[in-house]
Every structure is written in structure tokens, then in C-alpha cells.
Amino acid sequence: MERQGMIGLEKLFFRYDDFTAEFDFEIARGEFVAVIGPSGSGKSTLLSLIAGFDRAQSGKIRLDGQDMTLASPSDRPVTMVFQDHNTFAHLDLWTNVALGLSPALRLDAAEKKAVDEALARTGLQALARRKPGEVSGGERQRVAIARALLRDEPILLLDEPFAALGPALRREMLDLVKALQEEKNYTVMLVSHHPEDARYAATRTAFMSNGRILAFETTQDLFARRDLPELSDYIG
């Protein structure tokens, strides 16, 4: 019987120089979780451990019912979107998206159609032949979302992907991610420096401080808490 949880971290322990992090939680399929907390608290490290770019010293990572503790990033059912470095400047948007499917760019007709569809779904159809330098920052981030859509992995990790965008565009991108998440039942983890992003999009929010999750509950409950000095300091 398949386990319910899509992401399960069990007594995961990570050390890098003086920094240590510990995680033990479960996230269900289709959840939209935000991760907030001060700079250096370990938010990126958390995503990186799940994606397999960082290795924990001990503990277990289960993804989509499988033990993935030692799996390489490419074997994990995960797509990660970063703030930057999501596009290659010399390739047009179509090709940038297609790379998500085939790094060697050998695509059959069905795959080419899938690229077209992903571009259409993210509103980039008309810009397909432009280079990343010829579109806006928001449009460039759509390329990363289109690629994620094409990869169609059940876990989508977003590490401050919209940090460089203004509030209106951020909202628009969150709407897009939310729509895809609901449609595809993706499990989304969003690291954000903007508590309002968590409030807007996430059903549950984790608050991190010093490599630990101090609270992980419904977004509404989390923001109502007055008993966590670290959280009060962070939100201000």
C-alpha cells in the first residue's frame, strides 16, 4: 500500500561547518507549503536536501513512497525552480523549455507538442522565439514554470523564484503555480521572503530559525501565534 505522504523527512540531520539542521515532518500529496524564516535559517538547505543537491549526515528521506535518501537528484520525483539561472541566454524560450524534457534536445513530435502546450499554458506562446534577454523578468520565470510543467514531477520546489518581481507580478506567478498545483495535484514547497506570499498561497507554513522548524501548521494558525519570539521578530 502506498504511503500517504509525498515528502517524508525522518530525523534528518545535516551539518555544514558550524551550521546544523534537523528535520522531521511529512507533507501530503497536493499540499501547498510555504517555508519562511530569517536569512541563513536553512530554508534553501531544506529544499536542497529534498532535491538531493545536499546530502544529510543521517536520517531518511522518503519521496512519493520511496526511500530516496541516497538517490541522485535526477532520480528524484522533484523539479526545483530557483530565482536565477533558470534560462540559457543564447537559446530561445522554446528551446529553454524543451531542455526540461530532453537535455540533448532530441524530441519526437509528441514531445514538441508538449513543449508548445507548456508554453501556451504559461502564456509564453507568442514569445517562443525570443531569447531570455528579450523578455521581462516575470516572463523568464515563466520559462522555469513551463519546464517544470513539462517534467511533470509530483514535487515542485520553489526557492524564492519570484523574489526579483514586484508584488503584482509575484501574485500573478503564485496564481499560475497554484492553478497548476490544483490541476496536477502537485506537492509544492515555496521558500519566500515575503510572508504575504505564504498567506496568499499556502495552506500550511513552516517557520524556520537556526536550522530548525519552530512551527509547522496551517498558515492561518501560524500567523496568529504570539508565543514564538523568533516569529514575532521575523514578521515585525
Residue 48 C-beta: closest distance to ligand ATP, Å: 7
- Cell numbers describing residue 168: 503584482
Instruction: List the interface residues with ligand ATP, window 92-131 (CB under 6 A).
Output: none
Residue 143 C-beta: closest distance to ligand ATP, Å: 22
Pair 124, 139: CB distance under 8 Å: yes
Q: Which residues contact 185 (CB under 8 A, 6 or more apart)?
A: 29, 30, 154
Nearer to ligand ATP, 146 or 208 (CB): 208
Residue 125 C-beta: closest distance to ligand ATP, Å: 33
Nearer to ligand ATP, 24 or 54 (CB): 54
CA separation for the pair 156, 151 (Å, rounded): 10
Nearer to ligand ATP, 44 or 187 (CB): 44
Containing 169, the helix (H) or strand (E) segment is helix 167-184
- Across 140-176, b (16+ Cβ under 10 Å) vs e yields bbbbbbbbbbbebbbbbbbbbbbbebeeebbbebbeb
Residue 188 C-beta: closest distance to ligand ATP, Å: 17
Residue 54 C-beta: closest distance to ligand ATP, Å: 6
Instruction: List the interface residues with ligand ATP, window 148-207 (CB under 6 A).
Output: none
Q: What is the Rg, in whole angstroms, of the alpha carbon atoms belonging to the chain?
A: 18
Q: Binding residues for ligand ATP, how many (CB under 6 A)?
A: 11
Nearer to ligand ATP, 47 or 174 (CB): 47
Nearer to ligand ATP, 19 or 88 (CB): 19
Instruction: List the interface residues with ligand ATP, window 33-92 (CB under 6 A).
Output: 37, 39-45, 54
CA separation for the pair 47, 41 (Å, rounded): 12
CA separation for the pair 115, 147 (Å, rounded): 8
Containing 67, the helix (H) or strand (E) segment is strand 66-67
Residue 20 C-beta: closest distance to ligand ATP, Å: 9
User: Strands (DSSP E) along 129-168, which ranges?
Assistant: 155-159
Instruction: List the interface residues with ligand ATP, window 12-31 (CB under 6 A).
Output: 16, 19
Residue 21 C-beta: closest distance to ligand ATP, Å: 7
Nearer to ligand ATP, 112 or 193 (CB): 193
Nearer to ligand ATP, 61 or 119 (CB): 61
In 3D space, the residue among 144, 234, 176 whose CA is nearest the CA of residue 32 turns out to be 176
Residues contributing to the site for ligand ATP (CB under 6 A): 16, 19, 37, 39-45, 54
